[in-house]
Amino acid sequence: MSTFPWLTVAGAVPLVGAIAIALTPGRSAAGSPADRRARDLLVKRLALVFSLITLALTIVIAVKFRPGGPRFQFQQVYQWIPQFGVHYAVGVDGIALVLILMSTVLMPVVVLASWNDVEEVAASTASAAPGRRARRGRSAKSYFAMMLVLETMMIGVFAATDVFLFYVFFEAMLVPMYFMIGSYGVGQRQYAAVKFLLYSLLGGLLMLVAVIALYVYSTHGGHQGTFLFTRLSHLALSPTTQKWLFLGFFIAFAIKAPLWPFHTWLPDAATSAQPGAAVLLVGVLDKVGTFGMIRYCLDLFPSAAHFFTPLVIVLSVVGVLYGAVVAIGQADIKRLIAYTSVSHMGLITLGIFAMTSQGQAGATLYMVNHGFATGALFILAGFMVSRRKSHLIADYGGVQKVAPVLAGLFLIAGLAGLALPGLSTFVSEFLVLVGTFTRYEAAAVLATVGIILAAIYILWMYQRTMTGPVRAEVANMPDLKARELWAVAPLIALIVVLGVYPKPALDIINPAVHSTLVGVHSRDPVPPHPASASARQASTTSLVQHGRGQRGQTLRKQGSSA
């Protein structure tokens, strides 16, 4: 395989783009409005170009990836801090690869969708407080630069094969997202940003303790300490030690996902963030939690994973039902979408801890499909909010009559949210439920109720916003423009294509899922073989007939004696 550092280059390109944006001329007060608009346009174009280059590189990586080859491919391992066994080590298996692809597909979409976000927020601030200066630091330059920095972190967190390097990316990605919510958000943006940061830092602190403990245990027996995942996965740990370390990692990932009851930061953060930032938050950052469960909780602590599986299954089922029920009662459109994600993340976690090939393959595919479907919903909801200037569902009505393209695409994205057959989420949700049912029938049946509830909250939301009489405030709402169509059309296309033909994605995912199940010492439940059942039935029939024959002979002998 080529020794070209594909993953490093793919992660470095957006960082270079962020630096290029930072070096562009600032928006000086002396400049004319036309000059400032020209500089902002340059910044946006740079962000779009660098995100497209990154997408092209990851597509090349996907084409070069060999599903039947080694588990980790495109590996690079270099010493970083030799005294502590820390390496710059990257590599991807099928699970990491599809998540990196999802991230790099979403980034140019988010850039296009966020094209005018900064100007709209500045205008709303000025109209709310005439004569008040805009908040310092609020500019398109810093907003799009933080987006590209976040993309570097997202690629790094999925590609890292050194646990310490993973932790660095895991924590560092909080910084740009914190400022994207706190400085560029709406409503209670500062409260939401601080809540998001504190929850994430608490989980990160617990994981740091577990990471340090792993290093200490790796030095036992006179060995040199290491953070390399490939070595730690073969580390012999006692069941009690595994349980404590598992909890350190799992709680951090459950907060990041988020899994009920660690979810309370998500509705506030997603509601306050700009639509593009909400897409990255719910579409990508949340998947770091579920990815960590597969990669680290299962592979590093197999005994503890089996021990805690019943508890995680219960939390997952509660999350599926709780998120769906609460979503039904929401009056804010962005908050409703956020609660649907809580329900969907419960399904993903359920598939992971069912520990079957169907469940884990479905959960991984669900991560990707959820990113596309929920991303499309947030973006389209953002387009509606920018036109109507309201987040409340009750302020809409009859949108499909004045903006039919917007309403039609919103319907497709909504139907993907309720897993309509023919759309991508149906395949992944079906695999999760089938994989769970083979081992935990009651949990699968209860989780299936979430599908019914999903139909209620999606269709009711669509009915209240898109159908009925046209409200006066909506009568002049324009339909989607060309830029907005370019932003959302790729996601809609992927939702349809992966719903009709998911095989390419599953071919990449399945070998990595098999390796994970081997590492956690789990096998798919084996159903009774039809031939074996027939043989058992024939054997039983033969025994019965033999018994009847013996009884007949005995009766005849008794009759002749008489």
Instruction: Give per-residue pLDDT as tens, 142-170.
Output: 889 999 999 999 999 999 999 999 999 99
Q: Using CB atoms within 10 A of its CB, is residue 259 exposed (0-12), middle (13-18) or buried (19+)?
A: buried
Residues 331-348 have pLDDT tens digits of 889 899 989 989 999 999
pLDDT at 2 over 60: no
- SS3 (DSSP) at 86: strand
Residues 128-142 have pLDDT tens digits of 544 444 444 478 888
Q: What is the mean predicted confidence (pLDDT) over 181-199? A: 86
Domain limits, the chain:
6-119+138-172+301-525
Residues 345-377 have pLDDT tens digits of 999 999 999 889 899 999 999 999 999 999 999
Entry field: residues in the chain: 562
Residues 493-504 have pLDDT tens digits of 999 999 999 999
Residue 58, both tokens? 């990851």
* Among the ranges given (33-42, 60-69, 387-396, 463-472), the one the predictor scored with the smallest mean pLDDT: 33-42
Read off the pLDDT band of 224 (50, 70, 90).
Answer: confident
Q: Give pTM, 2 decimals.
A: 0.87
pLDDT of residue 433: 92
Distance in angstroms between the alpha carbons of the first and the last residue of the chain: 90
Read off the pLDDT band of 104 (50, 70, 90).
Answer: very high
Q: Is the dihedral of CA 485, 488, 492, 493 positive or negative?
A: positive
pLDDT of residue 222: 65
pLDDT at 535 over 50: no
pLDDT at 530 over 70: no
Round the average pLDDT of the chain to a whole number and report it: 85
Residue 394, both tokens? 């009750």
Q: Using CB atoms within 10 A of its CB, is residue 201 exposed (0-12), middle (13-18) or buried (19+)?
A: middle
Q: Using CB atoms within 10 A of its CB, is residue 388 exposed (0-12), middle (13-18) or buried (19+)?
A: middle
pLDDT at 547 over 50: no
Residues 452-483 have pLDDT tens digits of 898 888 999 898 888 888 888 888 888 889 88
- Residues 353 and 319 sit within 8 Å (Cβ to Cβ): no
pLDDT of residue 557: 45
